[in-house]
Amino acid sequence: MRLLEILPNGDLRLTQKLLDDAIPQYAILSHTWGDESKEVTFEDIVGGSDRGKAGYKKIKFCGNQATQDGLRYFWVDSCCIKKSSDAELSESLNSMFRWYQRAEKCYVYLSDVSTTRKRKTSGGDTLKTWEQAFRESRWFTRGWTLQELLAPTSVKFFSKEGEELGDKQSLEQEIYEITRIPISALRESKLSRFSTEQKFDWAKNRQTTREEDWAYSLLGIFEISMPVVYGEGRRNAVRRLEKEIDDTSKAKQCLRDLRVTDPRADKVRIEEAKGGLIPDSYRWILENNDFKQWRNGQQSHLLWIKGDPGKGKTMLLCGIIDELKKSIAETHLLSFFYCQATDSRINSATAVLRGLLYLLIDQQPSLIWHIQKQHDLAGKNVFEDTNAWVALSDIFTNVLQDPSLKSTYLIIDALDECTIGLPKLLDVIIRKSPVSPHIKWLVSSRNWPPIGEWLDKARRKVTLRLELNAESISTAVSIYIRHKVRQLAQEKKYDNKTRRAVLDHLSSNANGTFLWVALVCQNLQNIPRGRIRARLNSFPPGLNPLYERMMKQICESEDSELCKRILASISTVYEPITLTELTSLVEMLEESSDDIESLQEIVGLCGSFLTIQKDTIYFVHQSAKDYLLAKASVEIFPLGRRQGHYDIFSRSLVVMSRTLRRNIYSLNALGYGIEQVKPTDSDPLAASRYSCVYWVDHLCDWNPSITNDQVDLKDGGIVDTFLRTKYLYWLEALSLCRSVPKGVLAMGRLEALVQSTRQPNTAPVQRGRARMDYDKASYRRKMERLPTDARGPQRLGQLGHVLARLDPTRIGIVGRDGDKTVKIWDASNGKCLWTLKGHSDSVRLVAFLHDLTRLVSASGDRTVRIWDASSSECLQTLEGRSSSVGTVAFSHDSTLLASAWGGTVKIWDASNGECLRTLEGHSRPVCLVAFSHDSTLLASASEGGTMLDGCSDSVYLVAFSHDSTLLALAWGGTVKIWDASNGECLRTLKGHSDSVCLVAFLHDSTWLVLVLGDGTVRIWDASSSERLQTLEGHSGPVDSVAFWHDLTRLVSASWDGTVRIWDTSSGKCLQMLDGYSSWVNMVAFSHDSTLLVSASQDGTVNIWDASSGECLQTLKGHSNSICLVAFLHNLTRIVSALSNRTVRIWDTSSGECLWTLEGHSSFVNSVAFLHDLIRIVLASWDGTVRIWDAGSGECLKALEGYNECVYMAAFLPDAIRLALASRDGTARIWDASSGECL
């Protein structure tokens, strides 16, 4: 970077190129270029011909303004870049956002805004009229000025006369109205929280002189770099930009998934917990011969620092890290990790490798490709599943052997606190330390023989024994003692005698142990000044004697029981917990849950075993926990350590049962991205977060299988009750806690525990496990991103994409409306045409009759109302019992209405509201009613009850045959086919290897198709119970299936990343279409079954020849996952909807993207085509529907007015009217031409 320097005489001169660490404070100019021949260039400044150009006025203005603000340097793009150097130009364009970001002041010079024009008011006052010119300024239309607006913190606007108009803060409302950039983006220079689509939207109407600059001007906004290639054209530049954005996004996600902790943050936490790092207490190591041999010697690659507990090993390594940071060049890397046995996140070998890799890649990003090639295939699983160590050790080896790896220091503290996989970690250290001469290892541990036996195998090792450096340690401890006594004397106002007495006692008894000094000083904090000298002798030398004294004081105190409960809980938990979480685990603390200061005082009563940092409780040292478990276990665990696990388990279920609920964070929309969720100050999960993640682990470690206390696992026990009532809410909470993978493992442990007890009444546990197993891939990927409980319907909607939506005119409507009304809107002007009032509680369900003339609404006020859809008149009010309406359904001929109140179903005459039948028999609330296709039969399902004799469990899936003669019911792995006329069970289809996820009859009612959770598809003959085919081969759940028109072929798409085409007569897999790097989530045939389209989560869409399996086209360019694909009827176009809220129209023959349709602020989840192939309708989760011209990509109409997502759109047979269904409880019919809500 070059700067213009303002000389004492007012002249200007260019500096030499400055490195980042040598750049002084500077101002920066933002302006629009006029005639390039009149702008001052680098050559003009160097040659002294700058003043003769018109552009010099702007430069002089910037210099004068910088001087007024006390700045000596400033930067102007026209003359501070040597544009004749391609390398310098490319570097400058990639750095420009950062340069604007670092500027002290940014001056925006508006050459088309004048402050000289004035006008008089009627009162004689003079008003300036620059406001309109400001709004119309060319500056707001240029490409490069976007980053110049967003990057700097201080932006001031000036007229062409140099008069200040205001700054970014004072004019933010005007700027927002001009640019439509959110005010939150204007206020902060960190733009990572805004989406790619939002950023592109800010720039879409801006212009640049050189077409490629439109893309290059966005480099800094997207925080990426790429070579500048003028002449490539805007399209290629944008394509490269999008690829870089996608690659960067994947790399960032990979790094986020790799991160188990940030060791740099751990270092800060440890230093703060120990009162800060005292440089003089560790400098002795720098002159130690063993240390110098390791650091400077060519043959010494491993240094092992060992010593007894409390000798200061961790703080010594903190000091070494600081010294290495100061001395090593940019050509070196430094990675480190702190093991901590009391924290399950950082006490394993896999965590160590993840931490070391995280810092290495953060310093040398190019290394990430070693991880990303595996992460792209397996996602976060690669770091967390049962094979994580194998994958991570291979990755780690490849990174260390990378020729581009810089010289590296690897430091691991407290090997003895790596409680899981230590031998594997030691094996890696001794095998890798001599292999790469440019890598040096430093490790520390206690004097443990097993560690010594392993490390003795290492070649080129240096051992530094702290006990053999007693003099250096004693000197360091003395420095530490003087520091601590000085602090105590200042805080407690000691006199000289007291100060000297404390110093002498500590010096005489420390025995070279930092921790002993720290613990005694912590105890002295709580002793009145006048009693200090009398109490000094009560602190015995040595750690264990000191711990014994502390424990004795606790046992003799009035709060003995509470303190022992706290110590028992902290000794049992798997990771450090917060004060708020402690109140949920220790019942005696419940009344103090809202008083943090009181909680801190209570924890302070626990001797000095515990310390608090940022409201999180830690052991003061691992030796403190070791003492409690080995020497004081009887005191804190009078019923044994297993009882400690039971106490936490049982308290966890109590707390979760009390706090967990649906949509606990009150998120505004279903499918809300987890990255958008920010816990509030009053986080409803604050007290139960630990319980949500670890309750199963504590149950298993209590291990009721070896006691007589197995009642907790039986029907009616606390586990059964919790899973029946709170299972889905628990999954939601796990997602919000970013702990879904731990939940999957927890259910596996729970199932294993249940099986080991061999108890017959544990079906709820096994069902919960089955649910999570069935959708394991989905949970790992979807639930981590989408915490709200829309996942169940969303998943089933995908599985039934082809089989369930056979007739696009039939739309099921389920929604909620919180204001007790139903509204009908005119979309052309936003006017509410009708408000249907009458309910006294919220509207729960809304549905149209099939003839669309009437509307039914069900409310929490225990009534169902039938409305005239054209006049808004309430035709009938149907009153139920004491419970609210659970579900409603119309018969297909629109003559009957079925509604459910609690366990009762009523059938009504839809024309006059007469109750024709009352059906009773369900013992639990009815959640589903469905008419047969001929409207003569009704099926009802309840929550956990049975529908027909022979169902041994809750029925999850129901399907009528198309001729209404058969009814199929599925639960677990069993499917029964019933005679729909008399309720006789005709056939039972058993032998399924997993739960049934989808059941559907084909059109002729002869075949029944089942999709299982293990990835198999089964075809049954519904008349004979003969299993016609079992289609096996997928290794993951099947997400989408579709049939050829003649039923001879079936295609299935799976989470295993493949698409398979099957022969339905032989069950043979004819083709396996692969090549995807992620799971395939959508598949569809063209209308004539000649083509097949498949979409993958990796962002690719493939078009296949359905007969040969040949890939005809690959539609690339999707930077986000695809949630919907569909053919137009004439097969010339494909529509793909992306998770980034855009839709693309593709030419199937060329693979070219013709149009990108933007405008929705959330996912597009339904597409409908008019048979003229000109209009496309897209419905979105953002509550809007847009009608597009498929030929031009123009948005013809935007139909708005929905409170929640629109989840289905379909043209009616007349091709004029459009039916839309929304989760806000409304169904609306629109005129597709005029946009009028009919």
Residue-wise DSSP of 582-638:
HHHH-GGGGGGTT-HHHHHHHHHTSTTTEEEETTEEEES-HHHHHHHHHHSHHHH-T
Sequence-distant (≥ 6) Cβ neighbours of residue 747 within 8 angstroms: 696, 768, 769, 772, 773
Pair (173, 235) in one structural domain: yes
| pLDDT tens-digit readout, 1117-1172 | 655 556 667 666 555 677 776 655 567 777 767 777 776 766 655 555 556 555 44
Tokens (6 digits) for 564 = 């022992």
pLDDT (0 to 100) of residue 809: 26
Note whether 150 and 183 are within 8 A (CB): no
Pair (242, 97) in one structural domain: yes
pLDDT for 934 beyond 70:
no
pLDDT (0 to 100) of residue 925: 67
Look at residue 498 and tell me if it is in a domain.
Answer: no
Pair (165, 304) in one structural domain: no
Task: CATH number of the domain at 292, please.
Answer: 3.40.50.300
Which band of pLDDT confidence, cut at 50, 70 and 90, is reported for residue 267? Answer: very high
Pair (279, 238) in one structural domain: no
Q: What is the CA radius of gyration of the chain?
A: 36
Look at residue 1197 and tell me if it is in a domain.
Answer: no
| pLDDT tens-digit readout, 552-585 | 889 988 889 999 999 999 999 999 999 999 999 9
In the chain, the amino acid numbered 20 is D
Last residue of a domain, one of 767, 788, 809: 788
Pair (64, 36) in one structural domain: yes
Range from 653-662, 859-868, 916-925, 946-955 that averages highest in pLDDT: 653-662
Which band of pLDDT confidence, cut at 50, 70 and 90, is reported for residue 763? Answer: very low
Which band of pLDDT confidence, cut at 50, 70 and 90, is reported for residue 808? Answer: very low
CA 981 to chain centre: 50
Task: For residue 989, give its domain range.
Answer: 946-1032
Domain count, the chain: 4
Pair (294, 431) in one structural domain: yes
* HEC-encoded secondary structure of 1056-1093: CCCEEEEECCCCCEEEEECCCCCCEEEEEECCCCCEEE
Query: How large is the average pLDDT for residues 598-625?
Result: 87
Of 862 and 214, the one with more pLDDT: 214
- Could you give the CA distance from residue 876 to residue 892 in angstroms, rounded to a whole number? 20
Pair (354, 266) in one structural domain: yes
Look at residue 911 and tell me if it is in a domain.
Answer: no
Q: Determine which of 29-33, 261-265, 396-400, 1229-1233 has the lowest per-residue pLDDT on average.
A: 1229-1233
Range from 9-23, 77-91, 1201-1215 that averages highest in pLDDT: 77-91
CA 1189 to chain centre: 35
pLDDT (0 to 100) of residue 794: 28
The interaxial angle of helices 596-604 and 560-572, nearest 10 deg, is 90
pLDDT (0 to 100) of residue 1227: 57
Last residue of a domain, one of 443, 472, 501: 472
Tokens (6 digits) for 178 = 């001009």
Query: How large is the average pLDDT for residues 194-212?
Result: 90
- Could you give the CA distance from residue 366 to residue 368 in angstroms, rounded to a whole number? 5
Secondary structure (3-state) at 668: coil
Task: CATH number of the domain at 992, please.
Answer: 2.40.10.480
Strand order of the β-sheet with 1227-1231 is 1206-1211, 1217-1222, 1227-1231
Look at residue 939 and tell me if it is in a domain.
Answer: no
The DSSP secondary-structure symbol of 717 reads S
CA 206 to chain centre: 32
Pair (375, 459) in one structural domain: yes
pLDDT (0 to 100) of residue 786: 47
Sequence-distant (≥ 6) Cβ neighbours of residue 253 within 8 angstroms: 375
Secondary structure (3-state) at 825: strand
The DSSP secondary-structure symbol of 112 reads T
Pair (266, 189) in one structural domain: no
Pair (120, 55) in one structural domain: yes
Pair (150, 102) in one structural domain: yes
Look at residue 839 and tell me if it is in a domain.
Answer: no
Which H helix or E strand runs over 971? strand 966-971
Last residue of a domain, one of 220, 255, 290: 255
Strand order of the β-sheet with 854-859 is 843-848, 854-859, 863-868, 874-879
Query: How large is the average pLDDT for residues 334-357?
Result: 94
Pair (229, 272) in one structural domain: no
- Could you give the CA distance from residue 763 to residue 751 in angstroms, rounded to a whole number? 10
pLDDT (0 to 100) of residue 1128: 60
CA 173 to chain centre: 32
pLDDT (0 to 100) of residue 459: 79
pLDDT (0 to 100) of residue 789: 39
Q: Determine which of 243-257, 505-519, 634-648, 868-882 has the lowest per-residue pLDDT on average.
A: 868-882
Look at residue 209 and tell me if it is in a domain.
Answer: yes
| pLDDT tens-digit readout, 452-500 | 888 888 877 899 999 888 899 999 999 999 999 999 999 889 989 999 9
Look at residue 293 and tell me if it is in a domain.
Answer: yes
Distances (CA, A) of 1092 to 677, 1132, 1171: 38, 13, 20
Look at residue 549 and tell me if it is in a domain.
Answer: no
| pLDDT tens-digit readout, 492-507 | 899 899 999 999 999 9
Tokens (6 digits) for 737 = 């806690």
Sequence-distant (≥ 6) Cβ neighbours of residue 229 within 8 angstroms: 212, 236, 237
| pLDDT tens-digit readout, 121-136 | 455 544 457 888 999 9
Query: How large is the average pLDDT for residues 236-250?
Result: 91
Q: Determine which of 272-286, 484-498, 522-536, 894-908 has the lowest per-residue pLDDT on average.
A: 894-908
